[in-house]
Structure 1
Amino acid sequence: MPAPEGFDYDVRGAEVVITHHGRRATVLRGAAAARFLDDVEQGDAQELMARVTGNYRRGNERTAKNHPRNTGR
């Protein structure tokens, strides 16, 4: 599974705006923003932003696409 890429974040006062390929993905405020900033300093920022936004692959996309329930979509 490839590593996530294309994420960026910007701190605006008490908010953290996370973008993915230039489009706003989510805005964190308050305690969530503070936790995020602490975690970014300690680990992989791309992986963390992918997890926070829910925009990451789980490895089962192709299987789900071919499932009979999803045919014709």
Structure 2
Amino acid sequence: MGDIDKRNRLDESPFQYRITKNGMVFIEYEGRQVKVLKGKDADRFLEKVQTAESEKALQLIMAKITGNFKRGNERL
């Protein structure tokens, strides 16, 4: 992974995901839902998750899928 996570934020495991019965995937960041995947997108995500070597790799996959949603002006 190299220099991707310079501040080691992914070591804290801020991302989680849930899979529903109908195949939808909900990705959460620190307990808040930030992305919903359906259909082919959900299938591709689940394939990537199965090939992740470690927890940090799994966190990186979820971080990349959610994209740049944090801008610095979020309320606490």
5 Å-filtered alignment, 1:6-25, equals 6-12=14-20, 13-25=22-34
Q: Compare CA radii of gyration and give the structure with the larger one.
A: 1
For structure 2, list consecutive stretches of 5 or more residues without a partner in the other structure: 1-5, 70-76
In the alignment of these two chains, the number of paired residues is 57
Structure 1 spans left out of the alignment, 5+ residues: 57-73
Counting strand residues as a fraction of each chain, which structure ranks higher?
1
How far off is 1:55 after superposition?
4.4
Does the alignment pair 1:46 with 2:56? no
Q: Percent identity?
A: 36
TM-score normalised to the size of structure 1?
Answer: 0.70
- Runs (4+) of structure 1 moved beyond 4 Å? none
User: RMSD of aligned C-alpha atoms?
Assistant: 1.9
What's the counterpart of residue 29 of structure 1? 38
Quote the residue 2:3 is aligned against: none
Q: Normalised by the size of structure 2, how large is the TM-score?
A: 0.67
Measured after TM superposition, the shift of residue 3 of structure 1 is 4.6
